[in-house]
Amino acid sequence: MKNLLTLILICLQLSSQAQSVDPLPRPTRAQLDWHETEYYLFMHFGPNTFTNKEWGEGTEPEDLFDPAQLDCRQWCRIAKAAGAKGIIITAKHHDGFCLWPSKYSKHTVRESKWKDGKGDVLKELSQACREYGLKFGVYISPWDRNHPDYGTEKYNTVFTSMIRELFQNYGPIWELWWDGANGEGPNGKKQVYDWKRFEQTVRQISPRTVIFSDIGPDIRWVGNEQGIAGDPNWNYLDTAGFKRGAGGPPQDSLNHGNYNGKSWIPAECDVSIRPGWFWHAEENAKVKTAAELFDIYMKSVGRGANLLLNVPPNNLGLISAEDEASLLEFKKLRDRNFAVNLLKDASIYYQFSRDDITSDELTIRTLDSNATAYSANLRNFIVEMNKPTKMNCIVLREGIQNGQTIRKFRITLFNAGKQVGEIRGTSVGRKRILSFKTATVTSFKVNLEDTKGQDNIRGISAYLME
How far is Cα of residue 211 from the mean position of the Cα atoms in its chain?
Answer: 11
User: Taking the complex as a whole, how short is the minimal distance between the CB of residue 55 and ligand FUL, in angstroms?
Assistant: 6
| Minimum CB distance to ligand FUL smaller for 145 or for 431 | 145
| Minimum CB distance to ligand FUL smaller for 148 or for 245 | 245
Interface map 53-92 toward ligand FUL (x if CB under 6 A) = -x--------------------------------------
Tally of CB atoms within 10 A around 187: 11
User: Taking the complex as a whole, how short is the minimal distance between the CB of residue 229 and ligand FUL, in angstroms?
Assistant: 16
Total residues binding ligand FUL (CB under 6 A): 5
Q: What is the DSSP letter of 303?
A: B
| Minimum CB distance to ligand FUL smaller for 272 or for 392 | 272
Q: Is the bond preceding residue 232 a cis peptide, omega within 30 degrees?
A: yes
221 lies in the site for ligand FUL, by CB under 6 A: no
User: Taking the complex as a whole, how short is the minimal distance between the CB of residue 151 and ligand FUL, in angstroms?
Assistant: 18
Q: Whose CA is closest to 406, among 259, 294, 265, 280?
A: 259
User: Taking the complex as a whole, how short is the minimal distance between the CB of residue 50 and ligand FUL, in angstroms?
Assistant: 16
User: Taking the complex as a whole, how short is the minimal distance between the CB of residue 46 and ligand FUL, in angstroms?
Assistant: 10
Tally of CB atoms within 10 A around 389: 19
| Minimum CB distance to ligand FUL smaller for 179 or for 283 | 179
Angle formed by the axes of helices 321-337 and 290-300, nearest 10°:
60
Contact with ligand FUL (CB under 6 A) among 60, 270, 323, 398? 270
**Coil, strand or helix at 401:** helix
| Minimum CB distance to ligand FUL smaller for 99 or for 411 | 99
Torsion of CA 320, 324, 326, 332, to 10 degrees: 180
The burial of 369, by beta-carbon neighbours within 10 Å (0-12 exposed, 13-18 middle, 19 or more buried), is given as exposed
| Minimum CB distance to ligand FUL smaller for 165 or for 179 | 179
How many Å apart are CA 311 and CA 82, to the nearest integer? 11
How many Å apart are CA 65 and CA 50, to the nearest integer? 7
The residues in 173-192 that bind ligand FUL, with binding defined as CB under 6 A, are 179, 181
Q: Are 89 and 43 in contact (CB under 8 A)?
A: yes
* Phi then psi dihedrals of residue 203, to 5 deg: -60, -40
Interface map 29-58 toward ligand FUL (x if CB under 6 A) = -------------------------x----
Is residue 254 within a helix (H) or strand (E), and if so which, with residue range? Answer: helix 251-256
How many Å apart are CA 163 and CA 202, to the nearest integer? 7
User: Taking the complex as a whole, how short is the minimal distance between the CB of residue 368 and ligand FUL, in angstroms?
Assistant: 49
User: Taking the complex as a whole, how short is the minimal distance between the CB of residue 48 and ligand FUL, in angstroms?
Assistant: 8
How many Å apart are CA 410 and CA 425, to the nearest integer? 6
| Minimum CB distance to ligand FUL smaller for 39 or for 463 | 39
User: Taking the complex as a whole, how short is the minimal distance between the CB of residue 179 and ligand FUL, in angstroms?
Assistant: 4
User: Taking the complex as a whole, how short is the minimal distance between the CB of residue 270 and ligand FUL, in angstroms?
Assistant: 5
The burial of 195, by beta-carbon neighbours within 10 Å (0-12 exposed, 13-18 middle, 19 or more buried), is given as middle
| Minimum CB distance to ligand FUL smaller for 181 or for 423 | 181
How many Å apart are CA 163 and CA 197, to the nearest integer? 11
The residues with which 393 forms a beta bridge, in sequence order, are: 435, 463
User: Taking the complex as a whole, how short is the minimal distance between the CB of residue 317 and ligand FUL, in angstroms?
Assistant: 19
How many Å apart are CA 97 and CA 177, to the nearest integer? 16
| Minimum CB distance to ligand FUL smaller for 167 or for 178 | 178
The residues in 384-423 that bind ligand FUL, with binding defined as CB under 6 A, are none
Q: Are 456 and 398 in contact (CB under 8 A)?
A: yes
From start to end of 27-168, where are the E strands?
39-43, 86-92, 135-140
| Minimum CB distance to ligand FUL smaller for 175 or for 270 | 270
Interface map 110-139 toward ligand FUL (x if CB under 6 A) = ------------------------------
| Minimum CB distance to ligand FUL smaller for 224 or for 258 | 224
277 lies in the site for ligand FUL, by CB under 6 A: yes
User: Taking the complex as a whole, how short is the minimal distance between the CB of residue 198 and ligand FUL, in angstroms?
Assistant: 17
Would you tell me which residues interact with ligand FUL (CB under 6 A)?
Answer: 54, 179, 181, 270, 277
